Amino acid sequence: MISFIRKAVRMPNSSVPEPLAGRVALVTGGSRGIGFEAARELGMLGATVVVIGMDPGRVSAAAHSLVAQGIDAVGESADVADASSMDDLAARLGSLASPDILVISAGVMSDKASKTLRTSAEEWDRVLGVNLDGAFHAMRLFVPGMAERRDGRVITVSACLGRFSGPGTSGGLAPYRVSKAALNAMTKNLAAELMHGKRGVLVDAMCPNHCRTDMGGPQAPRSAAEGAETIVWLATRESVNPNGMAVETGLLWEDRQVVPW
């Protein structure tokens, strides 16, 4: 299933700096919510953005909306939980399957009543499939190019509910909490495999906090754009600080601050 929309000619506003011009940002879960806002901000900074979602209509609407805002945007539909769907996606994307920035935001919440002993096998597979397998498929397909080029940014959108500290794994919503705890582990592990930024690829997890999206609900305290702010910051930061020191990576961030896993 494909939805493909692209601006024929990009017309950057020359008075506005575009630090990501020439860069490609791929955002899973970019068709809605926090992922869409991250894609929009990265596009506003000049990146070509590839938004991935499951529903072709929503992907198309998201890409149209980005293009209408002057962003070079491509929308593609795929099931992140399905290995062959993701393989097909990468084949369709061609060179866009080797992005400079990967934001893994696709996610689903588990049923409210999903304490461990009340969770069906189907519910477990559904949530772990999207939140964990989906992140793995995105990493295995879209990060190798960064590793080869020794340049890239990977941001996984985690959740406070996956932490072993603070409001983390304290019971209930078992598939969701465990998927995010595992996502944290996968992020930390990949960061270590890529030598904690020494090979030019920064890999980090972040928690957007409770945001007004379809998942977060209308009463959440933050907007989706506020939730996306740290994603964009992680995606655009330099690998060395102004003192020439390598920046910290392989960590969990919230509001640009490191928080315990």
Ligand X SMILES: NC(=O)c1ccc[n+]([C@@H]2O[C@H](COP(=O)([O-])OP(=O)(O)OC[C@H]3O[C@@H](n4cnc5c(N)ncnc54)[C@H](OP(=O)(O)O)[C@@H]3O)[C@@H](O)[C@H]2O)c1
CB of 188 to ligand X, least distance (A): 17
Residue with smaller CB distance to ligand X, 214 or 248: 214
For 242, the token pair is: 């102004």
Residue with smaller CB distance to ligand X, 105 or 230: 105
Q: Active-site residue 218, yes or no? A: no
CB of 32 to ligand X, least distance (A): 4
- Residue 215's CB is within 10 A of a number of other CB atoms, namely 18
Tell me the C-alpha distance between 27 and 107, whole Å: 12
What are the residues binding ligand X (CB under 6 A)?
A: 29, 31-35, 53-55, 58, 79-81, 105-108, 130, 157, 159, 208, 210-211, 213-216, 220
Marked catalytic residue, from 36, 142, 176, 253? 176
* Dihedral of the alpha carbons of 188, 193, 198, 200, in degrees to the nearest 10: -90
CB of 242 to ligand X, least distance (A): 31
Tell me the C-alpha distance between 43 and 39, whole Å: 6
Residue with smaller CB distance to ligand X, 157 or 190: 157
Tell me the C-alpha distance between 115 and 109, whole Å: 13
CB of 134 to ligand X, least distance (A): 6
Residue with smaller CB distance to ligand X, 29 or 168: 29
Phi-psi region of 209 (alpha: psi -120 to 50; beta: other; left: phi over 0): left
CA angle (68, 69, 74) in 5-degree steps = 70
Residues marked active site are found at 176
